Structure 1
Amino acid sequence: MAKATDGEVNEKKISNSEEMDLVLDGGFVVPNANAFGHTFRDYNAESERQEGVENFYKTNHICQTYDFVKKMREEYGKLDKVEMGIWECCELLNNIVDESDPDLDEPQIEHLLQTAEAIRRDHPDEDWLHLTGLIHDVGKILLHPKFSKLPQWAVVGDTYPVGCAFDDSIVHHKYFKENPDFKNPKYNTKNGVYSEGCGLENVLMSWGHDDYMYMVAKENKTTLPSAGLFIIRFHSFYAMHRSGAYKHLMNKEDMENLEWLKIFNKYDLYSKSKVRVDVEKVKPYYLSLIEKYFPVKLRWFTG
Structure 2
Amino acid sequence: GREKILLFRRDGATERAVGKILFVVSDGEERTDGGAGDAKIIVLDVKEEFRGTNLGGLLFTECMRALSGYGSERVLLDAEEDMSRYNRLVRFYKQLGCQVKPNTRIQYINNNDGETYRKIPMYRGLDASDRNRSSSWLEGRPFLPFCLVDAMGRCLRLRQSPLATHQWLLVQREEGDGELCIRSTLGQYLCVSSDGDVAADRTECHDWERFILRVVALPGDVAVDGQESVEGRQYLHSRSLWVLKSAAHAGKHLAVDKEGFLCSSRVPTFWQKRWQKTGVAERGQDRATQPPSAASLVCTRDTPQRRLHYRTAWSTQSVAFVRGMRERYLGFRLRKMGLLEAMDLVGTAQSRPFSDGWDGVSLKSLLFFTAEHLRKRGLPDWEQLVALVHGLGRIVRSIDVNFLQEGMDEYDWTLLSKSRPVGCMCDDDLNFPEYRELSPDRLNDGYMSDLGMYRKNCGLGDLLLLWSGPEYMYHMLSANCTTIPQEGLAMLRYFSFSGWHSGGYFSELCNVDDEMMRSSVSEFNKFRCEARDQCKSNITEKDCNHLWNSHYSGIVAKYNLDGQLSW
**TM-score, scaled to structure 2:** 0.43
Corresponding residue of 1:80:
333
User: Following the alignment from structure 1 to structure 2, what is the Cα–Cα distance between the partners of residues 187 and 70?
Assistant: 15
Corresponding residue of 1:248:
508
User: Following the alignment from structure 1 to structure 2, what is the Cα–Cα distance between the partners of residues 70 and 161?
Assistant: 12
Corresponding residue of 1:264:
524
Q: CA RMSD in A?
A: 2.8
User: Following the alignment from structure 1 to structure 2, what is the Cα–Cα distance between the partners of residues 102 and 248?
Assistant: 38
Matched residue SS, 2:450: coil
User: Following the alignment from structure 2 to structure 1, what is the Cα–Cα distance between the partners of residues 358 and 502?
Assistant: 19
Say yes or no: does 1:116 pair with 2:371: yes
**Match for residue 66 of structure 1 among 291, 296, 319:** 319
Is contact 1:136-1:231 (8 Å) kept?
no
Is contact 1:222-1:295 (8 Å) kept?
no
Closer, same or farther: CA 43–171 of 1 in aligned 2, 3 Å: farther
**Match for residue 128 of structure 1 among 382, 403, 422:** 382
Corresponding residue of 2:565:
298
CA shift, 1:158, in A, is 1.2
Closer, same or farther: CA 46–251 of 1 in aligned 2, 3 Å: same
Structure label with greater radius of gyration: 2
User: Following the alignment from structure 1 to structure 2, what is the Cα–Cα distance between the partners of residues 32 and 108?
Assistant: 25
Matched residue SS, 2:336: strand
Q: How does 1:137-286 map to 2 (within 5 A)?
A: 137-144=391-398, 148-149=403-404, 150-151=408-409, 152-156=411-415, 157-272=417-532, 273-277=535-539, 278-284=543-549, 285-286=551-552
Is contact 2:430-2:499 (8 Å) kept?
yes
User: Following the alignment from structure 1 to structure 2, what is the Cα–Cα distance between the partners of residues 113 and 103?
Assistant: 22
Is contact 2:501-2:518 (8 Å) kept?
yes
CA shift, 1:32, in A, is 5.9
Is contact 2:386-2:488 (8 Å) kept?
yes
How many residues in Structure 1 have an aligned counterpart in Structure 2? 265
Matched residue SS, 1:95: coil
Q: Percent identity?
A: 27
User: Following the alignment from structure 1 to structure 2, what is the Cα–Cα distance between the partners of residues 257 and 43?
Assistant: 35
CA shift, 1:146, in A, is 5.8
Is contact 2:386-2:492 (8 Å) kept?
yes
Is contact 1:43-1:50 (8 Å) kept?
no
Gapped regions of structure 1 (runs ≥ 5): 1-17, 20-30
Is contact 2:423-2:452 (8 Å) kept?
yes
Closer, same or farther: CA 203–48 of 1 in aligned 2, 3 Å: closer
Closer, same or farther: CA 70–146 of 1 in aligned 2, 3 Å: closer
Greater RCO, CA 8 A, separation 6+: 1
CA shift, 1:79, in A, is 0.8
Closer, same or farther: CA 101–220 of 1 in aligned 2, 3 Å: farther
User: Following the alignment from structure 2 to structure 1, what is the Cα–Cα distance between the partners of residues 418 and 434?
Assistant: 15
The more displaced of 148-157 and 133-142 is: 148-157
Is contact 1:220-1:295 (8 Å) kept?
no
User: Following the alignment from structure 1 to structure 2, what is the Cα–Cα distance between the partners of residues 103 and 281?
Assistant: 30
Matched residue SS, 1:271: helix
Matched residue SS, 1:154: coil
Is contact 1:84-1:297 (8 Å) kept?
yes
1:215-252 Cα offsets, whole Å, 9 max, x none, are 10001000000011111111211111221111221112
By percentage of residues, which structure has more strand?
A: 2
CA shift, 1:103, in A, is 9.7
One-letter amino acid of the counterpart of residue 337, structure 2: M
User: Following the alignment from structure 1 to structure 2, what is the Cα–Cα distance between the partners of residues 182 and 254?
Assistant: 27
Is contact 1:53-1:100 (8 Å) kept?
yes
The more displaced of 227-236 and 137-146 is: 137-146
User: Following the alignment from structure 2 to structure 1, what is the Cα–Cα distance between the partners of residues 502 and 314?
Assistant: 19
User: Following the alignment from structure 1 to structure 2, what is the Cα–Cα distance between the partners of residues 269 and 216?
Assistant: 24
CA shift, 1:258, in A, is 2.0
Is contact 1:77-1:215 (8 Å) kept?
yes
1:262-300 Cα offsets, whole Å, 9 max, x none, are 221112112113054431331221111111111411111
User: Following the alignment from structure 1 to structure 2, what is the Cα–Cα distance between the partners of residues 236 and 89?
Assistant: 21
Gapped regions of structure 2 (runs ≥ 5): 1-158, 165-257, 265-269, 273-297
Is contact 2:305-2:355 (8 Å) kept?
no
Is contact 1:187-1:193 (8 Å) kept?
yes
Is contact 1:96-1:143 (8 Å) kept?
no
1:150-184 Cα offsets, whole Å, 9 max, x none, are 44442222110000012242332111211111342
